[in-house]
Amino acid sequence: MAETVKLTCLDCGQANRVPAARLGAAPKCGVCGAGLVAGKVAALDLRTLEKAAKSDELPLLVDFWAPWCGPCRAMAPEFQKAAQMLAPRVRLAKIDTQSNPDAAIRYSIQGIPAFILFHRGREVARLAGARPAADLVAFVQGKIPARA
């Protein structure tokens, strides 16, 4: 049997199993049809974030941000570039801490923008402050082995 990777759909929250060899072939959620590894930044709510952080087998880098935060807004295009550069090996998502204040409490966010890298059910590393896409890519590559 081919090796599969468990991924939570970041749109509907449904668990999916995808053959590892097909991660680069734009797999879609079996329930809602959303792209699972699309190279785009997904907006999350706390429930979906907790499910993906706990159960996904692909690394997930999450941007904790707020619409009133200037550095957060300036960071958004760089975060999107990083998503394209890291796909299909890593997924990127963001959570609005103004709309989801429990997320900031749950993950002890002290300042924004803040980035948390999750892999295989645990927090791997954190990074704070606005950064260029290349810095985010280097951060993830330094924390996740090439064959994660």
| Active-site residue set | 69, 72
Do residues 71 and 129 lie in contact, with contact meaning Cβ atoms separated by under 8 Å?
Answer: yes
CA distance 73 to 115: 14
Q: Using H for helix, E for strand and C for coil, what is the string for the chain?
A: CCCEEEEECCCCCCEEEEEHHHHHHCCECCCCCCECCCCCCEECCHHHHHHHHHHCCCCEEEEEECCCCHHHHHHHHHHHHHHHHHCCCCEEEEEECCCCHHHHHHCCCCCCCEEEEEECCEEEEEEECCCCHHHHHHHHHHHCCCCC
